[in-house]
């Protein structure tokens, strides 16, 4: 289950209903898929070949198609990051820049963990959403955010897109930073 940490106030939000209502208020979609459907051999495997990625997609075919149909997503794939990923540190450094996309950033965590750091409304500011297997999140189009791994430094996630070209990171700068 996801845990939220608000950066300014250090408030921690836990428990499904609390997390859901906080994220709803911030316009962030949060759902849950049953990851026990995954074959055991894929639950803790982070170095995946194409066939194993296909197996993950076929395991969650119904969940994916239901979400896609509801939200207009058209394509999907599986991404994995771990110490087996070449240049993981370089990649993580690149990820840690606040950016926006011209479509939603949708991730269903299949194994491991990940954190989205999302810019909330003016009163809330930035908050971390710590995600574990089964958590599904959609960061809204145009909403500043960045992504990083947790201490285990590994994740497998299903990504859904409207168009893969829409998922380009555009750097985001705070207005007062721009004016300085």
Interface ranges with Fe ion (CB under 5 A): 105
Q: How many CA atoms lie within 13 A of 158 on its CB side?
A: 30
The residue among 45 and 119 lying less far from Fe ion, judged by its C-beta, is 119
Please indicate if the annotation marks 105 as binding a ligand. Answer: yes
Closest approach of Fe ion to the CB of residue 167, in Å: 7
Closest approach of Fe ion to the CB of residue 48, in Å: 21
The residue among 52 and 126 lying less far from Fe ion, judged by its C-beta, is 126
Angle at 138 between CA 67 and CA 141, to 5 degrees: 110
Please indicate if the annotation marks 122 as binding a ligand. Answer: no
**Rounded Cα distance, 165 and 178, in Å:** 27
Closest approach of Fe ion to the CB of residue 145, in Å: 6
Place of tokens 């950016």: 99
Angle at 71 between CA 66 and CA 75, to 5 degrees: 75
Closest to 103 (Cα-Cα) out of 23, 57, 165, 24: 165
Please indicate if the annotation marks 145 as binding a ligand. Answer: yes
Please indicate if the annotation marks 101 as binding a ligand. Answer: yes
Binding site members: 99, 101, 105, 145
Binding site members for Ni(2+): 99, 101, 105, 145
Binding site members for Fe(2+): 99, 101, 105, 145
């Amino acid at each position: 289950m996801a845990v939220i940490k608000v950066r300014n106030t250090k408030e921690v939000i836990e428990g499904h209903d609390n997390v859901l209502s906080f994220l709803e208020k911030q316009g962030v979609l949060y759902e849950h898929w049953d990851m026990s459907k995954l074959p055991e051999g894929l639950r803790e495997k982070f170095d995946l070949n194409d066939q194993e990625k296909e197996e993950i997609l076929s395991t969650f075919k119904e969940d994916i198609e239901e979400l896609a149909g509801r939200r207009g997503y058209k394509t999907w794939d599986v991404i994995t990051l771990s110490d087996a990923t070449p240049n993981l540190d370089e990649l993580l450094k690149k990820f840690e820049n606040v950016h926006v996309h011209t479509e939603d950033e949708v991730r269903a965590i299949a194994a491991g963990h990940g954190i989205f750091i999302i810019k909330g409304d003016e009163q809330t500011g930035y908050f971390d959403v710590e995600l574990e297997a089964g958590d599904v999140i959609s960061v809204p189009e145009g909403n500043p955010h960045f992504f990083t791994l947790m201490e285990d430094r590994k994740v497998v996630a299903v990504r859904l897109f409207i168009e893969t070209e829409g998922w380009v990171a555009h750097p985001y700068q705070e207005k007062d930073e721009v004016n300085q």
